[in-house]
Amino acid sequence: MSTHEAIDRLAAARADRRPCAPVRDVLPPGDIDEAYAVQSAWVADRLAAGARIVGRKIGLTNPAVQAQLGVDQPDFGVLFDDMDCPEGKPVDVTRLLQPRIEGEIAFVLARDLTGAVIGQAEAAAAVGSVVAALEIVDSRVAGWDISIVDTVADNGSAGLFTLGESREPGDLDLPACAMTMRRGDEVVSTGTGSACLGDPLIALAWLAETARDHGRPLRAGDIVLSGSLGPVVPVAPGDRFHAEISGIGEVAVSFTGGGT
C-alpha cells in the first residue's frame, strides 16, 4: 500500500480532468490519518504554486450520510482563494468533473480558534458573521464511489463555493434556520440547521479542534462551510440554483454550458 500512489492517482485525475479509481485500495483500510496525509500533500503543492488558503469545508455532518459510509465523525477539506465564485458571475461547469451542489450556513471568523478546549461557546464567540452559502462539491473518484478514506484524501470532495451577503449572528437560532434550494423554479432540496450535527456551531467546534490537532488551526478571517442542510443535487450545464436560509439570507449561482 502506498500513500504516494494515492497522491499520484488523484493528481492525475485533476491534471487529466478524468475521474480515477478509488484510492482506498492503496491506503491502509480505514486509516483516516493517512488519508489526511494525502490531502496535506496536495495542499502543500497548491501553496507552493502560489494558492492561498481562505478557510475550510466540513463534510459528513449528516448522520444519514455517516451511516451510509460507516463512519461516526465528520471530515474536512481546505478552501483556496480560486474556489470562491462571486455571485453574478456564471461558473464554467468544465472546471469540475462530477459537480453536485448543496445549501449551507457559512461562518466568517472574527478571531482565532486555537484554545486547548474549543466547545460550542468558544466557537460562537469566534464567529464574526454568518452567510448563506452554496457549496459545489466535486469528486476526483469516478462515479462518486467513495469511502471516508477516499473523500478525505480528495480534500473532502471540495470543489467551489459561492457566498451571499453576510450578517452578524446576533441571537440566531441556527438549528431552526430553514433552507430551501431551487433549480430554476423547482424546489430541489430543503432542510434545517439541525441537519448539521444538530447545530452548525457543533460542526464548527469539531473542525476547530481537529484543524488545531492537524497543525493548521482556524484563524480570524477564515471562511468555514459548516455542512449540507439538505440533500445534495447534481449540477448540469445551464443550471441556475438559488438558496434561501431563513434569518440569514439568500445566495445564487449559475453554470455555463462549458465554453458558452
pLDDT tens per residue across span 104-155: 999 999 999 999 999 999 999 999 999 999 999 999 999 999 999 999 999 9
What is the chain's mean pLDDT, rounded? 94
What is the average per-residue pLDDT within 192-207? 96
Q: How far apart are CA 14 and CA 46, in angstroms?
A: 12
53 strand-pairing partners: 80
At 204 the three-state DSSP class reads helix
Q: What does the pLDDT read at residue 2?
A: 80
> What's 134's domain CATH number?
3.90.850.10
Please report, rounded to a whole number, the percentage of residues in the chain having pLDDT higher than 70.
98
The number of folded domains in the chain is 1
Q: How far apart are CA 56 and CA 58, in angstroms?
A: 7
At 130 the three-state DSSP class reads strand
Q: Identify residue 186 by its one-letter amino acid code.
A: E
Please report, rounded to a whole number, the percentage of residues in the chain having pLDDT higher than 90.
90
- The set of residues, in sequence order, having a beta carbon less than 8 Å from that of 16 and lying 6+ positions away, is none
Q: Is the pLDDT at 70 greater than 90, yes or no?
A: no
With b for 16 or more beta-carbon neighbours within 10 A and e for fewer, the 190-228 pattern comes to bbbbbbbbebbbbbbbbbbbbbbeeeebbeeebbbbbbb
**Containing structural domain, residue 248:** 3-256
**Confidence at 260, pLDDT banded by 50, 70, 90:** very low
